[in-house]
Amino acid sequence: MRYLFILNPAAGKQDCTVQLIPQLQQAAVRAGIPVDAVTTCKTEYAGHAKALARAAAEEAAKAGEQLHIWTAGGDGTLVEALTGVQGFANAAVGCLPYGSGNDFLRTYGTREEFTDLDAQLAGGEVTIDTMQTNLGLSATICAAGLDAQVAYGIPKFRRIPLCGGEMAYALSIVEQLCGQIGRKIEYDIDGEKLTVDCLMCAICNGKAYGGGFLAAPEAVPDDGWMDVVIIRKVGRLTIAKLLGMYKRGGHFVHGQLTEQAKPYFIYRRAKQVTLRPVDGRGPIVATADGECAPCDRVEIALHPQSARILLPKAAYERFCAQRENAASAVTR
């Protein structure tokens, strides 16, 4: 078994590598892992985690060994590594949450569980679905509309002196709310055609995105389905109420939309989704696990059981128990 830790010094508010490297070394010793089986490296540019993960997977495969990779950074660093090991059955990827969002872990456990290095090394690997999009691989959520526009606008405001992350986020929200709200979007959801004046939408393999918005609070990342959540266009006074409901997951309970949510939300389950703006206003901003870009068309296809991920001990045991319970329910 080989172990690789990929650390992103640019993720989050401060460089995580200074304190984390000695902590990783100490945790490996406590776990009884041979020193020569562990490699630690830092990313130096966008896409570097993908290259590092692929090179390590190729080397381990040639040696006939299994490879466990952990990324220390945000969701983007994790997805890079997952992309890098695609096609390698010998590699699994986990995350140490040191980024600004870290929404991936919210589907499986808590930040405290994922920052416990001993629990990470004592955990296990599971297989999950992923989504292939024209923005790249997504393990959690692909979204489009108002929320993606807000995320896309943040870097512009962060370039302003003394404008930190929270201030940049607030200014981007104000900018979007002062502009034209809503887009007319044509959806193809497993062959069902819908044209909707919508505020935003999320196609979900995981539960949360955007720093904790529970778009699909009951999403199961290995059930072979994507949860599709569309919010209809509403007036500015209604947006705050809907976003509050959306953030806490109050729009969806026991497998269906709540009565309060039904006038504003559309819900489907699907294996393939395509969406495109049809209002003549140009591309729509979309995001996949935090990576944003304007798109003329967004295509999302589910790839069942296509990624092996590492979970810390408590999260791993909980995931396995839920999987067993789901299997038992099917056979009853």
Task: Tell me the pairing of strands 284-288 and 141-145.
Answer: antiparallel
| Tokens 């090991």, located at residue | 85
Confidence at residue 164, expressed as pLDDT on a 0 to 100 scale: 63
H helix intervals, the chain: 17-30, 48-62, 75-84, 111-115, 117-121, 146-158, 165-178, 236-248, 313-331
Confidence at residue 165, expressed as pLDDT on a 0 to 100 scale: 61
Question: Domain 2-123+312-331 sits in which CATH superfamily?
Answer: Probable inorganic polyphosphate/atp-NAD kinase; domain 1 (3.40.50.10330)
Is the domain 138-304 a CATH 2.60.200.40 member?
A: yes
| 135 contacts 293 by C-beta, under 8 angstroms | yes
pLDDT digits (tens, 9 = 90+) for 24-57: 999 999 999 999 999 999 999 999 999 999 999 9
Confidence at residue 75, expressed as pLDDT on a 0 to 100 scale: 92
Confidence at residue 332, expressed as pLDDT on a 0 to 100 scale: 62
Neighbours of 44 (CB within 10 A): 11
As annotated, the residues of the chain forming the CATH 3.40.50.10330 domain(s) are 2-123+312-331
Confidence at residue 331, expressed as pLDDT on a 0 to 100 scale: 67
Q: In tens digits, what is the pLDDT along the chain, a chain of 332 residues? A: 999 999 999 887 778 888 899 999 999 999 999 999 999 999 999 999 999 999 999 999 999 999 999 999 999 999 999 999 999 999 999 999 998 778 999 999 999 999 999 999 999 999 999 999 999 999 999 999 988 888 888 777 877 887 766 677 678 777 877 888 899 999 999 999 999 999 999 999 999 988 788 999 999 999 999 999 999 999 988 988 898 899 999 999 999 999 999 999 999 999 999 999 999 999 999 999 878 899 999 999 999 999 999 999 999 999 999 999 888 777 66
| 41 contacts 105 by C-beta, under 8 angstroms | no
| 173 contacts 236 by C-beta, under 8 angstroms | no
Confidence at residue 217, expressed as pLDDT on a 0 to 100 scale: 96
Confidence at residue 97, expressed as pLDDT on a 0 to 100 scale: 93
pTM of the model: 0.91
Q: For residue 180, which phi and psi values (nearest 5 degrees)?
A: -80, 125
As annotated, the residues of the chain forming the CATH 2.60.200.40 domain(s) are 138-304
Question: How far is 97 from 117, CA to CA, in rounded Å?
Answer: 11
